[in-house]
Amino acid sequence: MKALIRGTAAVIGLFMVAVIGLVATVLVDGDAEATEISDGGGGLRGVPAEFRPWILKASKECTEPELTPALMAAQLYQESKFQTSREEATSDAGAQGPAQFMPGTWATWGRDADGNGEASPWDIGDAVTAQGRMMCSLLKQAKSSGYAGDVRALALAGYNAGWGAVQDARGIPPFAETQHYVKIILATMPRFQGPGLYEVSGSGDGADAVRRAATRLGTPYAWGGGGPNGPSTGFCDGTNGYLNGKCSASSTVGFDCSSLVQYAYWPSTHLPRVAAAQYGATSDRPVSRQDLKVGDLLFWSRGGSSAIYHVAMYAGDGNVIHAPRTGKNVEIAPLTSAMPERDYYGATRP
């Protein structure tokens, strides 16, 4: 959380006591649209595979039921978009790692949760576990404070601005940054909520690829976005990437159909970036519709291999996993209705 400085010297003095060593944040607006399919178990979806077990563990260890996996995931997304590199997950204020801890706050909450011999805000396990402990403590303080309002909102405000600032305001502090932080996280939670685990049967590269793609269920579609390292903002090309007359792709962090497939198979299989090229790279291994296996690639075209416009992965039981189009999210859908049946072109095996 960025230090917020307001008004007179007296106010500054009180506030600085509250914010020493606080967590810093990178404010990120996200698409909060939800789908009905979950990938992560425990009511969690749309979270990178390397984060999911730590979020579930931290949520379970907290005795406050309000600290749900979806709340933790939405907060992590707001803090860092699940970024872990020093270049992408260091704020201007000096906050570090996916949970954006300031060094002073990390000294209080940081532990070697992953057992690698070092407590580091850059380690996913260490950072998420510390986030969970701090939020759990803040929820307890919010409940005992007697302040009006959603205890989740109060705890988030404490994470952003410091509990001292919450006490001074006897509620959410009147800082635009903090109020936005609380509002966007609570609004984004549905994106990460889900009923349970989507199970992928089988073993091998194909099944592993579908499992990896399933960790991104609920991620928005972004034309031109995404790649081997995960989702990213896309672009508009004059025809694609628009929603309601505006360029949606350039402000949406997500995948398009072929980048999701590329991400799912990386690094074991290095597929090209676009759907037509993915067909070209695998067309020497065609698969009939009756012989589909989990992980096979399915293509749709409006006129031959050069006009392929969509790719999906077979997920078993007559379903596919894919990123359908602008305005939608990565989803599981029946093969027969995922795209126009008349455009189905064929399947290949990477």
Residues catalogued as catalytic: 79
Kind plus residue range of the DSSP H or E element containing 277 = helix 275-282
Q: 3-state class of 53 per DSSP?
A: helix
Contact 3, 20 (CB under 8 A): no
Contact 324, 338 (CB under 8 A): yes
Q: 3-state class of 198 per DSSP?
A: coil
d(CA 262, CA 269): 8
d(CA 251, CA 224): 12
d(CA 225, CA 253): 7
First to last CA, the chain: 44
Compute the C-alpha angle 27/28/31, nearest 5°. 150
Contact 247, 230 (CB under 8 A): no
